[in-house]
């Protein structure tokens, strides 16, 4: 048996360790050269490492979620003498790895990996005693006055019913079931009230989910947020959107609200430069950017990514829509490049159809502001003393209060509201 120790190679400039995200092989598996063996995540990317040789897997060093140092043994092979030779004057770091996807833009996080929080073990389910209700007609019956009146009028003894409500409360549905059953006494309450569950599952936070967790903690605890909410009448914007979609060419994408919001932000940002850029805690310097590079928070089956549409100030609405579709689609497919995921100066987060009424979005550190866009809906509003139906949209925003005053953040949102309520101004 010829044993070959394969060490974790250098997988990027300045990277000293990587997190094991997925093992593609198990002990005892036979692999061929260039077969994928493991996915490793760094602060900047997830890479798939191929096998350097043909052989059989003897051991794997590291569980999913463990950090492995560059140069340490990652996997041991039985190669039967076919192990690749390593020149003496080169580091035994293995083959060049193949980058398959970049997760998201992140400022390097210098915290050590934290052990997953373990829930206390429970030896057996906790049993909560449930007192049996007496069957005698003399027992106290829980029921609302309306239910009691209905039972009295129908000459039904409430004590003969087993209520399906909390603590055995008799409800109208119980009387309906009693009548439908020909006056027969109903049995036990529905399963929903009698089935108890006690299972506990533990999910280890690894990979991208861990990165998101650390980034959110850093943003929430290092940036003093203040939030601002406003509602916007997008009735005229909706009419414009419908008209443009009806006349669009075959090579033009269907327009949503986001491209208009992107263009409106790019239009007004020169008047609000304090909201567009970065604030790095260490050097105490605000970096205000002239380019408007908008991060678009995008939910994927692998977690939250923030692809970037760059230089929106130089785009028309069709270009903005096309680039938005391109970068968000690449993020969902896992094909986004590093350039697609870095460089945002302001972030937009939209929950689309599930947009709700309000939120307190967390700023994408080290940016200084974020805008949340909620679902547009038709509502009755007062205009000139009359109640009319208008299409309304809520906006939620958060700002870094260290460098942006409340009045400045409010002025940005009010300026944006003016543009969206009079959309012709976006293009003037």
Q: Are 265 and 312 in contact (CB under 8 A)?
A: yes
Half-sphere exposure of residue 175, counting CA atoms within 13 Å on the CB side? Answer: 19
Other Cβ atoms closer than 10 A to 245:
13
Active site residues: 401, 405
- Burial class from Cβ neighbours inside 10 Å (0-12, 13-18, 19+) for residue 36 reads middle
| Cα dihedral 180/186/187/191 (nearest 10) | 60
Is the previous residue joined to 204 through a cis bond, with omega within 30 degrees of 0? no
Which residue is associated with the tokens 């096998």? 51
Tell me if 45 sits within 8 A of 103, measured CB to CB: yes
In angstroms, rounded to a whole number, what is the distance separating the alpha carbons of residues 42 and 207? 9
Residues with Cβ within 8 Å of 217's Cβ and at least 6 positions away in sequence, in order, are: none
Q: How far is CA 56 from the centre of its chain?
A: 39
Tell me how long the chain is: 428
- Largest Cα separation within the chain, whole Å, is 98
Q: How far apart are CA 224 and CA 212, in angstroms?
A: 19
């Amino acid at each position: 048996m010829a044993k070959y120790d394969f060490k974790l190679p250098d997988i990027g400039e300045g990277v000293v360790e990587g997190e094991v995200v997925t093992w593609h092989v198990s002990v005892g598996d036979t692999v061929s050269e260039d077969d994928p063996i493991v996915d490793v995540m760094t602060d900047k990317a997830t890479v798939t490492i191929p096998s350097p040789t043909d052989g059989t897997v003897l051991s794997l060093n590291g569980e999913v979620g463990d950090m492995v140092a560059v140069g340490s043994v990652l996997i041991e092979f039985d190669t039967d003498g076919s192990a690749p030779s390593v020149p003496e004057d080169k580091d035994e770091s293995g083959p060049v790895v193949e980058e398959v996807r970049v997760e998201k833009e992140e400022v390097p996080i210098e915290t050590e990996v934290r052990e997953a929080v373990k829930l206390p073990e429970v030896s057996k389910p906790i049993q909560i005693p449930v007192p049996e209700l007496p069957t005698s007609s003399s027992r106290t019956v829980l029921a609302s006055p309306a239910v009691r009146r209905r039972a009295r009028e129908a000459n039904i003894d409430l004590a003969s019913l087993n209520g399906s409500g909390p603590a055995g409360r008799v409800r109208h549905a119980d009387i309906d079931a009693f009548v439908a059953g020909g006056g027969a006494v109903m049995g036990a309450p529905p399963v929903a009230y009698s089935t108890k569950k006690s299972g506990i599952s533990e999910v280890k936070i690894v990979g991208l989910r861990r990165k998101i967790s650390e980034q959110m903690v850093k943003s929430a605890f290092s940036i003093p947020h203040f939030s601002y909410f406003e509602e916007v009448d997008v009735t005229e914007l909706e009419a414009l959107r419908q008209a443009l979609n009806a006349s669009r060419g075959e090579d033009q994408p269907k327009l949503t609200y986001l491209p208009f919001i992107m263009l409106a932000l790019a239009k007004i940002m020169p008047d609000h430069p304090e909201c567009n850029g970065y604030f790095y805690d260490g050097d105490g310097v605000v970096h205000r950017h002239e380019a408007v590079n908008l991060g678009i928070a995008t939910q994927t089956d692998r977690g939250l990514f923030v692809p970037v549409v760059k230089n929106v100030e130089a785009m028309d609405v069709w270009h903005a829509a096309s680039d938005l579709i391109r970068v968000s689609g690449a993020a969902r497919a896992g094909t986004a490049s590093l350039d697609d995921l870095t460089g945002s100066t302001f972030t937009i987060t939209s929950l689309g159809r599930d947009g709700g009424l309000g939120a307190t979005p967390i700023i994408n550190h080290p940016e200084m502001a974020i805008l949340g866009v909620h679902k547009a809906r038709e509502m009755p509003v007062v205009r000139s003393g009359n109640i009319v139906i208008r299409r309304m949209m809520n906006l939620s925003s958060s700002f870094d209060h260290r460098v942006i005053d409340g009045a400045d953040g409010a002025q940005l949102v009010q300026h944006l509201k003016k543009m969206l309520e009079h959309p012709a101004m976006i293009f003037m």
